[in-house]
Amino acid sequence: MYYRLLNGAYVVRNDDKYVIHHVSYGDLCRIDEKAKEVVFRLAQEEGVLEKLSQEDKLMAQVLIEQNFLVSCRRPLSYKILDNPDELRKEYIVWFKDVTYLIVKVTNRCNLGCKYCHENANMDREDMTLDLFCNLVNKVLKSTKHNKISILLFGGEPTLMPLEWYMEALKHVREAEELFEKKVTILLQSNFIKVSAEKLRLFRDAGIKLSTSIDNPINPLSSYRPLANEVIKTCIAAQNMGFEVGVILTINKTNINDISSICHWMADNLGKIRFKANVMHPVGSGETTVALSSKEIFEAQKNILTYMIKTEGRELVERNLAEEIVRFFENHLQDKEPKKPAMGCCAKNCGAGKTLLSVEPNGDIYPCARLSDDIEYLLGNVNNYGLDSSNVNNFFNRANQFHNVNQEIWQKCQSCSAKTICSYGCKAFIIRSKTKENIECKPTLLRFAFYQENKDALRKVYETYVSQNRNKREGSF
């Protein structure tokens, strides 16, 4: 066993003495030359505590009891820093609150859906392995949270070579052990031409896979091409042991088929993790037609009706199920909504704080849904030689993202649906032409539906909570 300084703490020189200094808490304690040597030996030599002289051992035990030193399974080497400015370079304050990191490993995509909120195409760039490993180290070293989720995203992330993934995934597991953090790896793929070899690698690395299927009933009318190939890969992945997640985007091409699609999904894919997000006309999909509030509500009502009929035992749509939980646990019990783990579903969502998104070139944005919007570019992974203006810039821009279009939320405080509301997606509102929250009115309509159908929904609520008690962490 080794002992390392607690995360964020370093030895800083102060004349002929030293200080154990923490990036958030400042100076923790002064130590002399001898104590500094003991701290360094404990981090580098296995089992050295038992070999120390009585006096040195006593001093080490005081540091351990005060949690300045914590046990670890691997050796670490420290360098002495001369001043706290140097310390800032070592410790990446940008990542200190992160629980959910979206990594766009490539901007390339081999599908080109008409409504894509990205601007992906085959000419764009990939993330180097070095940058990926560097990013993972910085985030795991810096975040104060013990558990984080990393979503591998794109473009189409499976376009990256098998060898890239072998190294990248090995690195995540090593970093997890080194920094004593638990990492859940998720990957969102379009499931086009994903080799069995790659799927096996993902399975063995414990990756949670999700894909998108919009209309398996009328695939030719869908904004997403090649639905049959996606379904084939989805079933192949399930046969390999994956619990595949499916995201459906409610849009003009499938609103009339929603009930049949629910039955199709349950009959053909079983009890999948399922989300039905509303399409927003942004990015490549800017010219597509937005749904009216009534159309959005009708599609969601059809899903709710399906869930009521099957008492939540078959296909369950996660956004609506979580909303039903809020209806029973917040609204009916008159409680304030809890902050969701990932950071969506709140007026001030986690974008720019608990959630960050990184482009293939290392550019950092508050959320993946703000891609390429230079106004909200927070910084770059490679440019972490932080001076104070850099730090301020990062956090000011993140705040600026949350402060625009505040007028949209004016009615929220007095709104009866606020106990269930997820407030739409801030990035999509900012990027849309109308700057409207197109999910507001459908929320009010669903709220009325929940009140009218309270008794029928209770069974859905009870089944969902009992089956998903430990699985309700956020996913993108």
Write down the least CB distance from residue 362 to ligand SF4, Å: 19
Write down the least CB distance from residue 351 to ligand SF4, Å: 4
Q: How far apart are CA 88 and CA 451, in angstroms?
A: 52
182 is written with which tokens?
A: 């638990």
Decide whether 422 or 463 has the Cβ nearer to ligand SF4: 422
Decide whether 151 or 209 has the Cβ nearer to ligand SF4: 151
Decide whether 207 or 427 has the Cβ nearer to ligand SF4: 427
Decide whether 389 or 410 has the Cβ nearer to ligand SF4: 410
Residue from 39, 356, 421, 457 binding ligand SF4 (CB under 6 A): 421
Residue from 157, 350, 360, 379 binding ligand SF4 (CB under 6 A): 350
Judged by CB under 6 A, which stretch of 13-21, 70-78, 210-218, 422-430 contacts ligand SF4? Answer: 422-430
Q: Is 135 in the site for ligand SF4 (CB under 6 A)?
A: no
Task: Please name which of 422, 397, 402 lies closest in space to residue 348, comparing C-alpha atoms.
Answer: 402
Residue from 351, 358, 381, 460 binding ligand SF4 (CB under 6 A): 351
The interface mask with ligand SF4, positions 426-465, x = CB under 6 A, is xx---------x--x--xx---------------------
Contact 285, 117 (CB under 8 A): yes
Radius of gyration of the chain (CA): 25
Q: Is 343 in the site for ligand SF4 (CB under 6 A)?
A: yes
Q: Is 364 in the site for ligand SF4 (CB under 6 A)?
A: no
Q: Is 417 in the site for ligand SF4 (CB under 6 A)?
A: yes
Decide whether 201 or 412 has the Cβ nearer to ligand SF4: 412
Q: For the segment 53-72, give every residue that binds ligand SF4 (CB under 6 A).
A: none
363 is written with which tokens?
A: 């550019």
Write down the least CB distance from residue 103 to ligand SF4, Å: 15
The interface mask with ligand SF4, positions 304-323, x = CB under 6 A, is --------------------
Residue with tokens 């990542």: 95
Residue from 108, 124, 280, 369 binding ligand SF4 (CB under 6 A): 369
Query: What is the per-residue burial (b if ≥16 Cβ within 10 Å, else e) of 175-197?
Result: bbebbebebebbbbbbbbebeee
Q: Is 355 in the site for ligand SF4 (CB under 6 A)?
A: yes
Decide whether 36 or 397 has the Cβ nearer to ligand SF4: 397
Write down the least CB distance from residue 20 to ligand SF4, Å: 36
Decide whether 276 or 440 has the Cβ nearer to ligand SF4: 440
The interface mask with ligand SF4, positions 382-411, x = CB under 6 A, is -----------------------------x
Decide whether 7 or 284 has the Cβ nearer to ligand SF4: 284
Write down the least CB distance from residue 466 to ligand SF4, Å: 27
Q: Is 274 in the site for ligand SF4 (CB under 6 A)?
A: no
Total interface residues for ligand SF4 by CB under 6 A: 22
Q: Is 278 in the site for ligand SF4 (CB under 6 A)?
A: no
Write down the least CB distance from residue 49 to ligand SF4, Å: 44
Q: Is 101 in the site for ligand SF4 (CB under 6 A)?
A: no
Contact 121, 156 (CB under 8 A): no
3-state DSSP of the chain: CEEEECCCEEEEEECCEEEEEECCCEEEEEECHHHHHHHHHHHHCCCHHHHCCHHHHHHHHHHHHCCCEEEECCCCCCCCECCHHHHHHHCCHHHCCCCEEEEECECCCCCCCCCCCCCCCCCCCECCHHHHHHHHHHHHHHCCCCEEEEEEECCCHHHCCHHHHHHHHHHHHHHHHHCCCEEEEEEECCCCCCCHHHHHHHHHCCCEEEEECCCCCCHHHCCCCCHHHHHHHHHHHHHCCCCCEEEEEECCCCHHHHHHHHHHHHHHHCCCEEEEEECCCCHHHCCCCCCCHHHHHHHHHHHHHHHHHCCCCCCCEHHHHHHHHHHHHHHCCCCCCCCCCCCCCCCCCCECCCEEEECCCCEEECCHHHCCCHHHCCEECCCCCCCHHHHHHHHHHHHHHHHCCHHHHCCHHHCHHHHCCCCCCHHHHHHCCCCCCCCHHHHHHHHHHHHHCHHHHHHHHHHHHHHHCCCCCCCC
Write down the least CB distance from residue 367 to ligand SF4, Å: 3
Write down the least CB distance from residue 39 to ligand SF4, Å: 40
Look at the chain and count its residues.
476
Residue from 20, 60, 250, 425 binding ligand SF4 (CB under 6 A): 425
Q: Which residues bind ligand SF4 (CB under 6 A)?
A: 343-344, 349-351, 355, 367, 369, 411-412, 415, 417-418, 421, 423, 425-427, 437, 440, 443-444
